[in-house]
Amino acid sequence: MRYIEVEKKYSLPDAEGLKARLVELGAKSAEPTRQVDAYYNAPHRDFLAPDTISEWLRVRTEDHRASINFKRWHPVDAVVKTHADEYESPVGDVEAVRLLLAALDFRPLVTVDKTRQAWALSDVEVVFDHVVDAGEFVEFEFKGEATDVGDATQRLDEFIASLDVALGEQVNKGYPHILLGRDH
């Protein structure tokens, strides 16, 4: 399922219980990193115009690297999305990319500044995010082999349920939605 992302996000009032459970399962944690994600609107179609936002263009800087990413969530018109097409590539010169986007009339929408700590298991990545002006979250992303989106979603749901740890409310919108005050 290359270029398809299946993930679930929750608010996280208390991360310590979940981290302890991940340690029990043998998860390995990476060092926290700061990610600054600049989101852009396209000149040829307004990503914010539909009642339900279904696509983003993002430039991420973190530590000594950068990337550009485009996501389109499916079902496109649904409030609750099940998966996303995701195309991401490293960027060697992030300032050149910013200037390129400006020259093509892409306009900045919002910047998401977060500290992220990733934990890896064989088929699932768990990330803890502290998002400036938005709060604490946890994301579960399926990283294993699956026959289709339904299979990946079912396996991700089973993993989350097997944790037997209290999570906050499920969040069905991205960090830009939250910072822009959009429900969907």
Confidence of residue 13 (pLDDT cuts 50, 70, 90): confident
- For residue 62, the tally of other CB atoms under 10 A from its CB is 14
- For residue 66, the tally of other CB atoms under 10 A from its CB is 18
- At residue 8, the 3 state secondary structure works out as strand
Confidence of residue 23 (pLDDT cuts 50, 70, 90): very high
Look at residue 1 and tell me whether its pLDDT is greater than 80.
no
pLDDT in tens, 111-168: 999 999 999 998 999 999 999 999 999 999 999 999 999 999 999 999 999 999 999 9
Q: pLDDT averaged over the chain?
A: 95
Q: What is the mean pLDDT of residues 17-39?
A: 96
Token pair recorded at residue 66: 């950068």
Model pLDDT, residue 8: 96
pTM of the model: 0.91
Model pLDDT, residue 127: 98
Look at residue 183 and tell me whether its pLDDT is greater than 90.
no
* Beta carbons of 177 and 29 less than 8 angstroms apart: no
Q: What are phi and psi for residue 106, nearest 5 degrees?
A: -75, 135
Look at residue 184 and tell me whether its pLDDT is greater than 90.
no
* Beta carbons of 173 and 81 less than 8 angstroms apart: no
86-28-164 Cα angle (round to 5): 85
* Pure H helices in the chain: 16-24, 94-103, 149-163, 175-180
The beta strands (E) that lie in 63-132 are given as 65-74, 83-91, 107-120, 124-131
Q: What is the mean pLDDT of residues 90-114?
A: 98
Q: What is the mean pLDDT of residues 74-86?
A: 93
Token pair recorded at residue 44: 């040829």
Kindly tell me the sign of the dihedral angle through the C-alpha atoms of 65, 72, 114, 13.
negative
Model pLDDT, residue 129: 98
Model pLDDT, residue 15: 93
Look at residue 177 and tell me whether its pLDDT is greater than 80.
yes
Look at residue 18 and tell me whether its pLDDT is greater than 80.
yes
